[in-house]
Homo-oligomer: A and B are copies of this chain.
Amino acid sequence: MATTTAAQRREQARVEYDAFLKNCPTNQLLDRISDKWVGLVVSALATGPMRYSDLGRKIAGVSPKMLTQTLRSLERDGLLTRTVTPSVPVRVDYELTPLGASLSGLLSAVKDWAETHFDEVHRAREAHDAETA
């Protein structure tokens, strides 16, 4: 009788799963850039550099926490640059790198899709709900 059935199998599965994720780094990156705030920040910066508070105002609904967190993450990934100007009220500008700009185009396309097809989705949703109800 083995002490090792369910628990070991799960352990095993976990290891395999981790290995898969490591071999498939695309998923990680894809998950990152699929983040809600990432999309909004990158879109906001598409038209040019912006200051921290400008971003906060333009995005309208983001907390300082999430804004900072998202910006830091994007900076780390080389998608944008953070420039501090040590004037009396400190000034910090964020700007897309070429890499970030290339992604920006794609995310904007997705955003445009959402705007264009929102009606269709909304109607589909109502129709579906009507059936289900």
Contact between chains at B111 and A26 (CB < 8 Å):
yes
> Whole-angstrom distance between the alpha carbons of A40 and B127 in the complex?
25
Q: Are B61 and A17 in contact (CB under 8 A)?
A: yes
- Cβ–Cβ contact A21 & B61, under 8 A: yes
Note all chain B residues with C-beta closer than 8 A to A35.
34
Cβ–Cβ contact A109 & B111, under 8 A? no
Please state if A120 and B106 are interface contacts (CB–CB under 8 Å): no
Provide the A10-42 mask, 1 if CB < 8 A to any CB of B, else 0.
Answer: 000000010011000111011101111001100
On A, residues with C-beta under 8 Å from B are: 17, 20-21, 25-27, 29-31, 33-36, 39-40, 60-61, 75-79, 99, 102-103, 106-107, 109-111, 113-115, 117-118, 120-125, 127-129
